[in-house]
Amino acid sequence: MITSNLYEGGLMKRVYSVILCLFLLAILISSPLHCKETEQSLKNEAGFMTIEPIIFYFHYGDHFSRLLLKSSEARIWYSFHAADKNSAKNPLFVFFNGGPGSATCSGLMSMYTSEFTLDKGIETGGGDIFLPNPYSWTQLGNLLYIDAREAGFSYNLMSQDKSIQDEGLRFREFNAQNFNPFFDAADFIRVLLRFLASHPELQKNPVVIVGESYGGVRTTCMLHLLLNYTEYGNGSQMYQDEALVDEIQAHFDVVFPNYQGQIVPPQVITEQFGHQILIQPAISYGYQTQITDDLILQPGGLIDQFEQETGIPYDPDIHEDPLYYVKDVADRDYYIYTKPAGWLNGFFSNAARLLHFTQNLTLMTGMDVTAIPQLYASERNQAYRVISTNYPYSILLAPDIATPLIRLHFIEPAIQEARQANQEPGDMDAVFGTLQPWDRYYISSNGNANWAFHVYNVAIVRGYDVTIYEPRLGRMFLQNVAHVHTFITNAALDLVVYSDAIPPSLARHDDIVESVQHIKHPMNGEIRPGYIILNYHQSAFPNVQNLASRTIRFPLYESSCHAVSLTQPEELLSDVSAWLTEKEIDFKARER
C-alpha cells in the first residue's frame, strides 16, 4: 500500500509537473518575446554553394563557329548575416568586391558593413583586429557576402579524369571557361538564386546588389542577365547559358506566379532586383580610364600638384600610366592619394591574415566554421587555387611583358600573392588539415584568376569583347539603369576609379544618351549632395517606356578612398538608408 500510495503520489506530481511545463510552454510560445524570436528565425550561416560544370558559349551570330566552353565544378563561399530585426521581412543585400579575383571576405565583409569590422585607424595601430561595427548594414536588412570563383575561400575542383598534379592542366583551368565577366556574373546569380531557394522566407524579398570596383562590371552583367534573361538562351546575346536561363525562369515562376512559364518583363523583375549600389565601380571602364588620364594630367590637375610636391616632372616615357608615377614617384596610394602607397592594401592584407584564424572566421561569419565539411583538406583532393607556388608558367616576373597598367593592377598583386602563398598564416592547417601545394584556404586577391580574365583568355583571343574595357559593358549599364534604381559612390580621393570620370564616360555612349549631367549641389537638402542625370535618346531602348531621363544618386565622400565603407562608413550607411527609403524599400517589418 505504501508503495502504492507513494506511487500514486509520485504519479500525480509528475502529471502536475507535465501540466505546469505545458502551461509555461504555451505562455512562452504565445508571448511577444517569442513572436520576435520567430520573426528573427533566420540565423547567420556560412558555407559553400556547389556550382556544377556548366556548358555555355559565346557567339557572334554563327552557331557552328561559336566558342563553346565547359566550366569546372566550383565551391563558392558565402556568408549570410541575418538582419538585426525581422530578418524574414527585410531585403537581402548581396555584397561582392572586384578584382576580378578579389575576395569579398577581406573586402566589404571586413570593412564596416557586417556586425564586426577592422578598425579603420591603421595609422594609429588599428586595422589589425575585428571589432563590433556600429555601422553594420544588418540594420538595413540581411547580408549575403559571396567570394568569386577562386577568390577568398572559394575554390575550383578539377574533374576526376584529370590529374590535379599536372601543372599544365592547372594552367589551362585558368581560362575563359572559368573566368569571364558573363560567366562570373552567372556564378553569382546561381549562388544567389540557390540561396534564396533554400531560404523560402527570403525568396520573394527585394534584393539589393552591392558591388565594389570590378563589382560594378559584375553587377552590370548580373542585372543584364536577370532583366533580359531569355535573350541569354535564345541566341540574341553574345553570351549564351541555357542552364542559367532555366534556373532564372524557375525562380521567377515562384516569385512571380502570375507569369508562371512566361517571359517575365524587366519592369516586373525589378520588383525584386530593382536596386544597385556601386562603390567606386568600373562601369564603362575603357572610357573611364581614358578620361581619368585626361583629367589628372590636365594643367593644374593632380599630376601637376605631385610634380610641384616632389620636384620630379612626370615623364610618360618612364611611366606610361600616370598612376605609376603617383605610386613610385609621389609615394602615394592610388586608391587614396592623400595616404602613402600601399595604405589600402594594408587593410586587405590584415583582414586576409586575420581570416586565416578559425576563431576570427567564426566571429566574422557568426557560425562555427569547423562544422563546414568543404573546408577540410580531406574534402578537397581535386581542389586547386593557383597554378603553381613557384609560378613557372607565369610571366608575372618578366619585366617587359605587360603594359604598365596591367602591371600596376594585376601583376604586382599576383606577385604579392605568390610570395604570401607559401606562408598562409593562422591555424587552418591545424584545424582542417594540410592542403596540397596548389590549394589554399584563403586568397585575398588571386592573380591567376585575374590574369585568366584579362590575358589567358581564349574568348578575348577569339575576338569576343569580354574585357572590362569594352563599350559593351557601358551600354549594358545604361540599359540596366533604365529599369533599376542606382546609387554610385563618389570617393574624392580614389584615382583607380576616379569618380569625376564616371559621368563623362557614360556620356561617351552618345548613341544611347543625349547628355549626362553631374549635379553637385543638393537637390533635396541632403548632406552629401551628388546626382548623375542621364538624358536618354527616346529610341535608345524601344521596349522601355518613359525613358526620357534617369537619375543616379552620386553622393560625394570627400575623405574617402576606393573602399568607401572603410573610410566613411557612417555616412555611407546613412546615405544608403535614406536612398533606399526614398526608393520605397521599407526596412521594418515589410509585409509582402
Partner 1 sequence: MNIKKNSHDHFTRVLGLSLLLFLAMSPLAVWADKTNDDQIVPPQKFQFELFGGYTTLNPSDLNLFVSYDNTIQTFSYDAYFDYLRTNSQIQSWTKNQDSERQKIKRAFPFGARLKFHLNQTIALSIGLRYLTSSHDSNIELQYTRNEFFNEQYREELVYSPYSLSAKAYIPTLGIHIMKKLKNALTLEGFLAGGLMFARCKYLSDWTYEWWIQGANYNWLTFQNSGTLEEKGHGIGIALDVGGRLAYPLFKSLGIFLEAGYAYQVAKNISGGGSEVRDDSTEIWDGRWGIKREKMTTPWGELEFELPTNYWPEGTDERRIRDFELDLSGFQLRLGLSYRF
Binding site for partner 1 (CB under 8 A): 55, 60-65, 68, 70, 168, 171-172, 175-176, 234-235, 393, 395, 398, 400-402, 456, 458, 461-463, 465
Cβ of residue 483: shortest distance to partner 1, in angstroms?
Answer: 24
Whose Cβ is closer to partner 1: residue 73's or residue 84's? 73
Q: What is the C-alpha separation between 68 and 53, in angstroms, rounded?
A: 13
Whether the CA torsion 293, 298, 301, 304 is positive or negative: it is: positive
Q: What is the C-alpha separation between 497 and 119, in angstroms, rounded?
A: 24
Cβ of residue 186: shortest distance to partner 1, in angstroms?
Answer: 17
Cβ of residue 463: shortest distance to partner 1, in angstroms?
Answer: 5
Whose Cβ is closer to partner 1: residue 172's or residue 537's? 172
Whose Cβ is closer to partner 1: residue 64's or residue 419's? 64
Residue 446 to residues 101, 428, 439, Cα–Cα distance (Å): 5, 19, 12
DSSP code of residue 372: -
Q: Are 479 and 541 in contact (CB under 8 A)?
A: yes
Q: Helix, strand, coil % (nearest 5) of the chain?
A: 40, 15, 40
DSSP code of residue 386: -
Cβ of residue 96: shortest distance to partner 1, in angstroms?
Answer: 27
Cβ of residue 464: shortest distance to partner 1, in angstroms?
Answer: 9
Whose Cβ is closer to partner 1: residue 155's or residue 456's? 456
Cβ of residue 393: shortest distance to partner 1, in angstroms?
Answer: 6
Cβ of residue 259: shortest distance to partner 1, in angstroms?
Answer: 20
Residue 261 to residues 25, 157, 230, 250, 265, Cα–Cα distance (Å): 45, 34, 12, 8, 12
Cβ of residue 330: shortest distance to partner 1, in angstroms?
Answer: 27
Q: Are 184 and 216 in contact (CB under 8 A)?
A: no
Q: What is the C-alpha separation between 347 and 354, in angstroms, rounded?
A: 10
Whose Cβ is closer to partner 1: residue 451's or residue 557's? 451
Residue 65 to residues 62, 233, 245, 472, Cα–Cα distance (Å): 6, 17, 22, 21
Cβ of residue 224: shortest distance to partner 1, in angstroms?
Answer: 18
Q: Are 98 and 190 in contact (CB under 8 A)?
A: no
Whose Cβ is closer to partner 1: residue 53's or residue 342's? 53
Whose Cβ is closer to partner 1: residue 22's or residue 55's? 55
Amino acid at residue number 193: L
Whose Cβ is closer to partner 1: residue 117's or residue 446's? 446
Q: What is the C-alpha separation between 170 and 166, in angstroms, rounded?
A: 6
Q: What is the C-alpha separation between 437 and 222, in angstroms, rounded?
A: 34
Count the neighbouring beta carbons within 10 Å of the beta carbon of residue 465.
15
Amino acid at residue number 32: P
* Residue bearing cell 553631374: 518
Cβ of residue 429: shortest distance to partner 1, in angstroms?
Answer: 31
Q: Are 579 and 487 in contact (CB under 8 A)?
A: yes
Whose Cβ is closer to partner 1: residue 57's or residue 259's? 57
Q: What is the C-alpha separation between 175 and 372, in angstroms, rounded?
A: 29
Q: What is the C-alpha separation between 211 and 174, in angstroms, rounded?
A: 23
Whether the CA torsion 121, 125, 128, 131 is positive or negative: it is: negative
Cβ of residue 455: shortest distance to partner 1, in angstroms?
Answer: 9
Q: Are 325 and 319 in contact (CB under 8 A)?
A: yes
Cβ of residue 55: shortest distance to partner 1, in angstroms?
Answer: 5
Q: What is the C-alpha separation between 391 and 389, in angstroms, rounded?
A: 6
Residue 491: what are its φ and ψ, rounded to 5°? -85, 120
Cβ of residue 53: shortest distance to partner 1, in angstroms?
Answer: 9
Whose Cβ is closer to partner 1: residue 43's or residue 63's? 63
| Cell numbers representing residue 454 in the block | 584579362
Whose Cβ is closer to partner 1: residue 143's or residue 217's? 217
Whose Cβ is closer to partner 1: residue 21's or residue 461's? 461
- What is the Cα Rg of the chain in Å? 26
Q: What is the C-alpha separation between 368 and 266, in angstroms, rounded?
A: 40
Whose Cβ is closer to partner 1: residue 363's or residue 458's? 458
CA neighbor of 504 nearest in space, from 293, 209, 303: 293
